[in-house]
Amino acid sequence: MLSYPGINPDISVWKGQEITDFQEELLVKVNGRLSEKWFYTHIKASNPSLPRIDVLNMLSKFTGYGNWDDFRFKNADKTGLPAKTGKPNSVFIVIPLLLLVVTVVLFFIYRMIDTQNYRFTFVDADSGDPVLNGNIQVDLFLKGESPMSYTCDKEGSFVMRTDQNKIRMVVRSPYYLTDTVERILKKLNRTEQIRLQVDPYALMIHYFSQTDIKAWQKRRGLLDKMFSENAMICQVPDPKGGTGMELYNKKEFIDKLTMPVSSLRQIEVLDTRYDSGQIVILRFKVNTSKK
């Protein structure tokens, strides 16, 4: 689909590149052609003559109708004409119909211009580098539409298409704080970076899990402060086999981490939720592929 930003909404003043753009749009959409002379004969002239029926059929198809008769039938109530009449023979009939066709054409062109693709890339707020963990979840909320969910690509980006000028999204990613983002969309700047703040507790848990047991024991006090007393801690099942889902309370989780036979190594944090600065929900998995 072609788009031509900045096109003048008044077709009667089109010239040069604007006419060329419209000719290309007709060719792409209905494989039709109109000469530049046609514009000066039927649009710019003070007393326009009646276009040929094949041209009226082509313009009707361009605007989504089967042909000229279909257009007249479905718009009879707007023009005040019978749904099926004889061949037009009056300028007072032709001009309103022609203006209606032009209005519909301009509406379709406007919608094509107004609906654009927008790319959002998520970057680390501290380093400015793209977040490349491949697990950024975006819940998108558009006015008048149901929420839509996206998963970013390996470059930390996702592309959305809309004609709205304001959006709201909730962004979740391991090791980054969940954030609600609102943006005013700019038609001339359709690529934007959004900064995500690091989740320090999630990073600390991941880092601690890779250190020796003695280091964990020294950090029991810190772990105790990080978690709420009523924290719900969930280990998701290993897709490659092993144990199923396991639930821990705060004490059980810290105890298991600091036991000499602890199996909780190489923790990968999937989700953290906070209340009053403490973790109330933690979801994680153990990466069994790393030893």
Report the alpha-carbon distance of residue 99 to residue 86 in Å, rounded.
19
DSSP string, 22-85: HHHHHHHHHS----HHHHHHHTSSSSPPPPPHHHHHHHHHHTT-SSHHHHHHHTHHHHTS-SS-
pLDDT of residue 6: 58
Residues 233 and 247 sit within 8 Å (Cβ to Cβ): yes
pLDDT of residue 180: 92
pLDDT of residue 2: 39
pLDDT of residue 1: 36
Q: Which two tokens stand for residue 125?
A: 């707020």
Measured between alpha carbons, how far is residue 135 from residues 24, 179, 275, 288 in Å?
41, 15, 23, 19
pLDDT of residue 54: 82
pLDDT by residue, tens only, the chain of 291 residues: 335 555 666 666 667 777 777 777 777 788 887 777 777 777 766 655 667 788 788 877 877 788 888 877 777 665 554 555 445 455 556 667 777 777 766 666 555 555 678 889 999 988 889 888 778 999 999 888 888 888 898 888 999 888 788 889 999 988 899 999 998 887 767 788 999 999 988 888 887 777 766 666 677 888 889 999 999 999 888 766 556 788 999 998 888 877 765 566 678 888 899 999 999 999 888 876 654
Q: Domains along the chain? A: 11-114 (no CATH), 116-196 (2.60.40.10), 200-286 (3.10.450)
pLDDT of residue 121: 92
pTM: 0.52
pLDDT of residue 265: 65
pLDDT of residue 212: 66
DSSP string, 84-120: S-S----HHHHHHHHHHHHHHHHHHHHHHHH-EEEEE
* Residues in contact with 246: Cβ distance below 8 Å, sequence separation at least 6, in sequence order: 234, 235
- How far is residue 17 CA from its own chain's centroid? 31
Report the alpha-carbon distance of residue 233 to residue 284 in Å, rounded.
8
